[in-house]
């Protein structure tokens, strides 16, 4: 049976999304270049850690609604959920998005829906549209093309994929409506329509905003250290103001998205993104600053006690367990 959805990329977002769609009794054909990943999923097992995902995948595979392969097949809806790593000097690399698009290019037909979910530089969706129409000119203006970023929290992905709001931006109004119609079958959160470029920027801005807020707290800790002020007490007192909410400082920024997404903006808009770029510098520097503090404390202990100290590092994981 021809699948309704082809999911290119079966990682931390692609596989949960595929399982969610398949749980609604929709045939999903998942694609990953890693044969081990494909074989694992086809056994009804998972290769990543995410609560309740194993049950969803096992059930979807057992009922025949989800299968995986290393190559795509013809469908009506194509979702691109592949990595977007960086080249040198923090320049985004969209080659995986291009490769995924090239893979489905011969399969596209009039009326199909093509969606990018991968975190991408502004203009990527339009660039892929141009690539498709250059190679398949007979399909020009006959496809629905959109961008829809995820905004889920690892450890709670299966719940948030359903209940979080989504921002959906098409290359034109018809594409936006088509994509909203697609997601409305699976998402209970509100679906907010916009254009593709705004949707791409929205994903980047959300995490860049958090990065800037964290950088402010981290910069305060650097200032207070030099000024002989307890930064924790200072922030607690400042937050007594009814319109002030300062975060707690740390040793940088954890996780994946917050420490990465701002570079998608600074790479394309280096002159305009002064605050965003500086926040990245501050949060990166804070890790080295904290390491130097530990090294200094270690040396002071050794000089005082004549032996090397034992050092415990708490919180190596991004999430519990």
List, by residue number, the catalytic residues: 203, 257
> Measured on CA atoms in the order 29, 31, 34, 37, is the torsion positive or negative?
negative
> Measured on CA atoms in the order 285, 290, 296, 298, is the torsion positive or negative?
negative
- CA 149/CA 187 separation, integer angstroms: 13
257 and 209 Cβ atoms separated by less than 8 Å: no
């Amino acid at each position: 049976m021809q699948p309704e959805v082809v999911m290119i990329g079966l990682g931390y977002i692609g596989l949960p999304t595929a399982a969610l769609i398949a749980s609604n009794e929709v045939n999903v054909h998942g694609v990953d270049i890693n044969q081990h990943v494909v074989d694992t999923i086809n056994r009804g097992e998972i290769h990543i850690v995410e609560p309740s995902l194993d049950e969803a995948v096992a059930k979807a595979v057992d009922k025949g609604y989800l299968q995986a392969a290393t190559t795509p097949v013809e469908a009506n809806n194509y979702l691109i959920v592949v990595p977007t790593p960086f080249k040198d000097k923090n320049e985004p690399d969209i080659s995986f998005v291009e490769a995924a698009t090239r893979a489905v290019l011969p399969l596209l037909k009039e009326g199909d829906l093509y969606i990018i979910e991968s975190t991408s530089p502004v203009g990527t969706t339009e660039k892929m549209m141009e690539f498709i129409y250059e190679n398949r000119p007979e399909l020009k203006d006959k496809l629905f093309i959109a961008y829809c970023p995820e905004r889920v929290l690892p450890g709670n992905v299966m719940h948030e994929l359903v209940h979080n709001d989504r921002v959906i931006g098409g290359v034109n109004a018809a594409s936006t409506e088509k994509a909203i119609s697609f997601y409305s079958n699976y998402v209970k959160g509100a679906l907010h329509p916009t254009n593709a470029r705004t949707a791409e920027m929205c994903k980047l801005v959300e995490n860049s905003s958090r990065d800037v807020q964290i950088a402010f707290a981290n910069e305060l800790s650097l200032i207070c250290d030099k000024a002989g002020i307890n930064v924790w007490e200072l922030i607690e007192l400042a937050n007594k103001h009814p319109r002030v909410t300062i975060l707690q400082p740390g040793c940088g920024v954890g996780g994946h998205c917050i420490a990465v997404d701002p570079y998608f903006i600074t790479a394309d808009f280096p002159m305009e993104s002064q605050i965003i770029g500086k926040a990245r510098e501050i949060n990166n520097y804070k890790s080295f600053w904290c390491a130097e503090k530990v090294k200094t404390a270690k040396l002071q202990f050794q000089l005082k006690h004549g032996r090397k100290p034992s050092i415990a590092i708490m919180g190596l994981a991004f999430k519990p367990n």
